[in-house]
């Protein structure tokens, strides 16, 4: 076998290994039901902030703890414990993606992604008078 062939075979093997590794390390999107039936496993859960429920952020006791309730896309609501400070403009979020796992009936999130109202579609027009600060 020529060196070129060996190189090619090794290269393909490495590429396959990279793909398998990437998939093994990946997480997956889920709803609350799936997340709570596999406690401890990491999931991405997409949903909306349950605005009628209580939000607690008390930086005086722990700046790295924020609790709120989220309703997933199937309408299931759970208490969420975010182990980070409360994100800026949290109340304005339109959609939330939580990355974390279920534990003891609560969803513990390490990471949160928020989608704020689209910058391009809302039909509000500012006039110059309002613009002055």
**Interface with another protein includes 5 (CB under 8 A)?**
no
**Cβ 1 vs Cβ 10: under 8 Å:** no
Q: Which of 38, 59, 73, 75 binds another protein (CB under 8 A)?
A: 59
Measured between alpha carbons, how far is 89 from 81 in angstroms, rounded to an integer?
17
Alpha carbon distance 94, 113 (integer Å): 11
Which residue has 């020529």 as its token pair?
2
For another protein, which stretch binds (CB under 8 A), given 25-33, 48-56, 72-80? 25-33
Name residues whose C-beta falls within 8 Å of residue 96's C-beta, 6 or more positions apart in sequence. 46, 47, 48, 49, 70, 112, 113, 114, 115
By CB under 8 A, residue 13 contacts another protein: no
How many Cβ atoms from other residues are within 10 Å of residue 84's Cβ?
A: 13
Interface mask (CB under 8 A) for another protein, residues 91-130, using x and -?
-x--x-x-xx--x----x-xx-x-xx-xxxx-x-xxxxxx
Q: Is 132 in the site for another protein (CB under 8 A)?
A: yes
The reply to whether 69 sits near another protein by the rule CB under 8 A is: no
Task: Tell me which H or E stretch contains 104.
Answer: none
- The single residue among 1, 5, 28, 105 that binds another protein, judged by CB under 8 A, is 28
Query: Rule CB under 8 A: which residues touch another protein?
Result: 2-3, 7, 11, 14-15, 18-19, 21-23, 25-29, 42, 44, 46, 57, 59-65, 81, 83-86, 88-89, 92, 95, 97, 99-100, 103, 108, 110-111, 113, 115-116, 118-121, 123, 125-133
């Amino acid at each position: 076998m020529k060196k070129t062939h060996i190189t090619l075979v090794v290269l393909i093997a490495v590429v396959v290994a990279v793909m398998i590794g990437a998939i093994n390390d990946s997480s997956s999107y889920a709803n609350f039901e799936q997340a709570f039936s596999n406690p401890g496993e990491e999931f991405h859960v997409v949903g909306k902030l349950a605005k009628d429920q209580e939000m607690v952020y008390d930086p005086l006791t722990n700046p790295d703890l924020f609790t709120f309730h989220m309703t997933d896309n199937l309408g299931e609501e759970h208490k969420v414990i975010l182990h980070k400070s409360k994100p800026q403009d949290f109340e304005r979020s339109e959609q939330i993606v939580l990355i974390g796992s279920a534990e003891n009936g609560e969803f513990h999130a390490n990471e949160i992604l928020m989608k704020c109202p689209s910058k391009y579609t809302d039909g509000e027009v500012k006039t110059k008078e309002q613009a002055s600060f």
